Amino acid sequence: PRDNTTWNLNRVWLPSNVSVAPGQQRTFIFTIRAPNTPGTYNFRWRMVQDGVQWFGAFSPNRQIVVN
């Protein structure tokens, strides 16, 4: 779900001094933390212009098993 904190964060921010024009690419590197409860969790993200709208395709879904 949007803005969930399953992975200990719900958004990865683009630095304020960086912009990405349509058609450009940007790589995001960030750390997640596995949930405390064992199980299989979905890991999937999507872009948002904060306060405006969600846009673009979702990232491919990855099922991650937490033991």
pLDDT of 5 above 90: yes
Q: What's the Cα-to-Cα distance from 12 to each of 15, 40, 50, rounded to whole Å?
A: 9, 22, 11
Give the per-residue pLDDT at 1.
81
Give the per-residue pLDDT at 61.
96
Q: Quick: pLDDT tens for 14-51.
A: 999 999 999 999 999 999 999 999 999 999 999 999 89
Confidence band of 2 (pLDDT split at 50, 70, 90): confident
> Cβ neighbours of residue 10 under 8 Å, at least 6 residues apart?
3, 4
pTM: 0.75
